[in-house]
Amino acid sequence: MPIKSRIRTIPDYPKAGIQFRDITTLLQDPVGFRIAVDGLVEPFRDIAIDKVVGIEARGFILGGAVARELGAGFVPVRKPGKLPHDKIGHDYDLEYGQDRIEVHVDAVKTGERVLLVDDLIATGGTAQAAIRVLEQLGGEIVGVAVVIDLPDVGGRARIETMGHDVVALCTFEGD
């Protein structure tokens, strides 16, 4: 059974016309979870990676597992007010306003090789913000790995325009 069939689609969530791709069904399936983690790890297995960075919240689940498989450290990218130590952040635009991500200032050191992991790439705004913060800290982005790409929304193209490769395990067209 392919990975895409393990992802639940919830129509009209969080608003009418949106097809929400819910990976909780993938994560609760032990075979599906293993397929997802292996798929995210495989393209980077032979590349030196110091840190895997997971974007809140589903990126934490996947990123932690990927970091363990790659023998790398794990760094959480959080929403504002969630990190207790000195942090650096980046504001980014959403279709309905603005948001912000933050990371501890000592989470990534200059020259460390970083893999960014999340569940899904849509507009790419959150990933772009995370890349900017990680590069500001001196990290070298070796790739962006996601379970789902929504190509019609254009996020993957935006990340690739920044000069970074994107690995996606599946795509959902028309979303």
Query: pLDDT digits over 96-121, tens only?
Result: 678 999 999 999 999 999 999 999 99
Amino acid 1: pLDDT: 66
Could you tell me which residues are beta bridge partners of residue 100? Answer: 91
Q: For residue 93, name the pLDDT band (cuts at 50, 70, 90).
A: confident
Exposure class string for 34-64: b at 16+ Cβ within 10 A, else e = ebbbebbbeebeeeebbbbbbbbebbbbbbb
Domains of the chain (ranges; CATH) run 46-171 (3.40.50.2020)
* In the predicted structure, residue 29 carries a pLDDT above the cut 60: yes
* In the predicted structure, residue 76 carries a pLDDT above the cut 80: yes
Q: For residue 175, name the pLDDT band (cuts at 50, 70, 90).
A: low
Q: For residue 153, name the pLDDT band (cuts at 50, 70, 90).
A: very high
Amino acid 157: pLDDT: 97
Give the angle subtended at the CA of 163 by the CAs of 153 and 55, to the nearest 5°: 60
Q: For residue 84, name the pLDDT band (cuts at 50, 70, 90).
A: very high
On the question of a cis peptide bond just before residue 84, with omega within 30 degrees of 0, the verdict is: no
Amino acid 95: pLDDT: 65
Cα separation, 88 vs 138, whole angstroms: 12
Amino acid 15: pLDDT: 87
* In the predicted structure, residue 128 carries a pLDDT above the cut 70: yes
Over range 140-145, report the average pLDDT.
98
* Mean pLDDT for all residues in the chain: 95
Residues with catalytic annotation? 58, 95
Cα–chain center distance at 41: 13
Cα separation, 49 vs 42, whole angstroms: 13
* In the predicted structure, residue 19 carries a pLDDT above the cut 70: yes
* In the predicted structure, residue 20 carries a pLDDT above the cut 70: yes
